[in-house]
Amino acid sequence: MTRRPPPAPVPIPSPAKARAMVEARDGRQCARCPQQGTPWHVDHIFPLWLVDPIDPERWRYWLLDNLQTLCASCHQAKTNSEAASRAKIRRIVSKVRTPMGAKRKARARRPALPF
Ligand SMILES: [Zn+2]
């Protein structure tokens, strides 16, 4: 089995250039509601906090396909929803880590065997 060569580097536009490209594509139309022309934001559809730092495809995060127009209200709602998800994940991870740490401490407190 042969491995595919890594993808060619994709030029990352500046935030201003990316915003202009999204505006040209979407015409300031919110992707989630009928709002158009109101204060708008460029949103990463797949958020950076979910990008696996060792995923060889992580460069896709920076593509125009991962950007969308959201009105300020929809962007705030999405951000709040993602923050809730992150907090939930952190709580789950902390519960998984705590029992293992607790076991290690319990083992350390066990008295040494008499032989
Ligand atoms: Zn909207």
Distance 112 CA to ligand 1 centre (A): 64
> What is the mean predicted confidence (pLDDT) over 81-100?
84
Q: How far is the CA of 46 from the centre of ligand 1 (A)?
A: 17
Cβ atoms of 60 and 7 closer than 8 Å: no
pLDDT in the model for residue 113: 62
CA 89–ligand 1 middle distance (angstroms)? 26
Using the mean position of ligand 1's atoms as its centre, give its distance from the Cα of residue 32 in Å: 5
Tokens of 40: 């708008």
Helix (H, G, I), strand (E, B) or coil at 19: helix
Strands of the chain (E only): list them. 40-44, 67-71
pTM, entire model: 0.69
What whole-number distance in Å separates Cα of residue 113 and Cα of residue 111? 6
- Kindly report, residue by residue over 36-75, the tens digit of the pLDDT: 888 999 999 999 888 888 988 888 888 888 999 999 999 9
Separation of CA 86 and ligand 1 centre (Å): 22
Q: Which long-range contacts (CB under 8 A, 24 or more apart) does 58-63 make?
A: 59/7, 59/9, 59/10, 62/10, 62/12, 63/10
Distance 21 CA to ligand 1 centre (A): 19
Residue 98 has pLDDT above 80, yes or no: no
CA of 51 to the centre of ligand 1 (A): 24
Distance between terminal CA atoms of the chain? 55
- 47 alpha carbon – ligand 1 mean position (Å): 18
